[in-house]
Structure 1
Amino acid sequence: MLEFVLMGFSDSPHFQWFLFGLFLLIYVTILVCNSIIIIITKLDPNLQTPMYFFLNNFSFLEICYVTVTIPRMLMDLCTKKGNISLFACAAQMCFILIFGGTECLLLTAMAYDRYVAICLPLNYISVMNHKVCLQLVAAAWISTIPFVIGETYHVFSLSFCGPNRINHFICDFPQVLKLACSDTFLNEIEDYVATVVFIMVPFLLIIVSYGKIISNILKLSSAKGRSKAFSTCSSHLIVVILFYGSASITYLQPKTSQSKGTGKLLSLFYTVFIPTLNPIIYTMRNKDIMMALKKLRTKLLK
Structure 2
Amino acid sequence: MCEENQTQVTEIHLLGFRGLYKYKILLFIVFLLTYTLIMGGNLVIILLVSTTDHLKTPMYFFLKHLSTADVLLTTSIVPVMLHIILFEGGTLPLWFCIMQLYCFIGIFGFVQCYIIAVMSFDRYLAICHPLRYSSLMGPDLCLQLVIGSWSSVTVITSSELFVAIQFNFCGLNYVDHFFCDFGPTMELATSDISSLLLQDFVNSILMMLFPFTLIIVTYFCIFFTILRMSSTNIYMAPSDESSSEINKYQSLLYIVVTPLVNPIIYSLRNHEIKRALMKIQMFRVF
TM-score normalised per structure 2: 0.91
Letter aligned with residue 166 of structure 1: V
The partner residue of 1:30 within 26, 38, 62 is 38
Question: 1:210, 1:43 → 2: CA distance?
Answer: 30
3-state SS of paired residue (1:5): strand
* Structure 2 counterpart of 1:57: 65
Letter aligned with residue 222 of structure 1: S
Question: 1:190, 1:12 → 2: CA distance?
Answer: 36
Question: 2:164, 2:272 → 1: CA distance?
Answer: 45
- Does residue 301 (structure 1) correspond to residue 285 (structure 2)? The answer is yes
Contact 2:21 2:85 in 1 (8 A): no
Distance 1:258 1:129, change over 3 A: farther
* Structure 2 counterpart of 1:45: 53
Distance 1:74 1:128, change over 3 A: same
Contact 2:16 2:89 in 1 (8 A): no
- Does residue 266 (structure 1) correspond to residue 274 (structure 2)? The answer is no
What is the Cα deviation at residue 47 of structure 1? 1.1
Q: Where in structure 1 are there 5+ consecutive unaligned residues? A: 235-255
Q: Percent identity?
A: 36
Moved more, 147-156 or 62-71: 147-156
* Structure 1 counterpart of 2:189: 180
CA distances 1:124-156 after superposition (whole Å, capped 9, x unpaired): 111110000000011111111222122123223
Matches within 5 A, 1:1-302: 1-96=9-104, 97-224=106-233, 226=234, 228=235, 230=236, 233-234=237-238, 259-302=243-286
Distance 1:207 1:129, change over 3 A: same
Contact 1:4 1:166 in 2 (8 A): yes
What is the Cα deviation at residue 285 of structure 1? 4.1
Structure with higher Rg: it is: 2
Contact 1:93 1:152 in 2 (8 A): no
Letter aligned with residue 87 of structure 2: T
Contact 1:7 1:169 in 2 (8 A): yes
Distance 1:202 1:6, change over 3 A: same
Question: 1:39, 1:106 → 2: CA distance?
Answer: 18
CA distances 1:265-291 after superposition (whole Å, capped 9, x unpaired): 111111111001111112354222122
* Structure 1 counterpart of 2:3: none
Higher RCO (C-alpha under 8 Å, 6+ residues apart): 2
Q: Where in structure 2 are there 5+ consecutive unaligned residues? A: 1-8
Letter aligned with residue 73 of structure 2: Y
Whose helix fraction is larger, Structure 1's or Structure 2's? 1
Contact 1:50 1:133 in 2 (8 A): yes
Question: 1:22, 1:213 → 2: CA distance?
Answer: 40
CA distances 1:177-198 after superposition (whole Å, capped 9, x unpaired): 2222233222221111121122
Task: Supply the RMSD in Å over aligned alpha carbons.
Answer: 1.8
TM-score normalised per structure 1: 0.86
CA distances 1:5-42 after superposition (whole Å, capped 9, x unpaired): 11111221112111111111111111111111112212
Question: 2:41, 2:268 → 1: CA distance?
Answer: 12
Contact 1:40 1:296 in 2 (8 A): no
Question: 1:260, 1:138 → 2: CA distance?
Answer: 36
Question: 1:100, 1:258 → 2: CA distance?
Answer: 25
CA distances 1:163-182 after superposition (whole Å, capped 9, x unpaired): 21111111122221222223
Contact 1:90 1:171 in 2 (8 A): yes
Which runs of at least 4 in structure 1 moved beyond 3 Å after TM superposition? none
